[in-house]
Structure 1
Amino acid sequence: MSQRKEGPGSRFLFDSFDAAHARIEANERVMEERWSGLEFRLAQIDAALERLERRIWLGVYGVAAFLLTQGAEALIRAAMR
C-alpha cells in the first residue's frame, strides 16, 4: 500500500488499488461463464447425437424387418408351389 498522507480527504484517494488481483478475478469469472456455456453446448450436442442414434437404429431395425418379411414371404410362396 502507498503511504497515507495525513490531512483532510478520503483514505481511498491514497490507498493503492490491486489491479492485478481485480484482473485475475475478472478473468476467472469470464472463464467460468465460458465453461458453463461450453457445458450447455456439449449437452445440446449430446442430446442431438442420442436422437440421431435412435433414428439410425430405427432404420436398421426397419431394414431388418423388411428383409425378414421378404424372406418369410419367399418361404410361404415356395411352400405353396
Structure 2
Amino acid sequence: MTARGGAAGSGGGSRFLFDSFDAATARIEANERVAEERWSALDYRLSHIETSLERLERRIWVMVFGGAAFLLAQGAEALVQAAMVR
C-alpha cells in the first residue's frame, strides 16, 4: 500500500477540484446508444423482410394468373374442338 500524498498519488491538488464521474448517467447513455443501435438493426431487418414479402406476393400473383390463363386456354381449346366436331 502507498500512503496518500506519496509518489503514487502525486498529482497535486484536491480530488474535489475535478468533476466527479457519474456512473449512473454514463450507464444510462450507453444503454440509450445500445437501444438506438438495436432499433436501427431491427428497422434494417424489417425492411429486408418487407421486400422479400413483396417479391413473394408478386410470385404468387404470377402463379395465380398463370393458372387462370391455363384454365382459360383449356376452355378455349375445348370450345374450338367442340365447334370443329359439329
Question: Higher Cα Rg: structure 1 or 2?
Answer: 2
The residue that corresponds to 2:37 in the other structure is 33
> May I ask how many residue pairs the two structures share in their alignment?
72
Q: TM-score, normalised by structure 1?
A: 0.84
Q: Runs of 4 or more off by more than 6 Å in structure 1?
A: none
1:29 is aligned with what amino acid?
R
Deviations 1:55-76 (A, max 9, x none): 0000000000000000000000
Gaps of 5+ in 2: 1-11
Q: Structure 1 vs Structure 2: percent identity of aligned residues?
A: 71
Instruction: State the TM-score, normalizing by the size of structure 2.
Output: 0.79
Q: CA deviation at 1:45?
A: 0.3
Distance 1:32 1:80 in 2: 72
In the alignment, structure 1 segments of 5+ residues that lack a partner are: 1-7
Where does residue 54 of structure 2 map in the other structure? 50
Cα-Cα RMSD = 1.2
The one of the two structures with greater contact order (alpha-carbon pairs below 8 A, sep at least 6) is 1
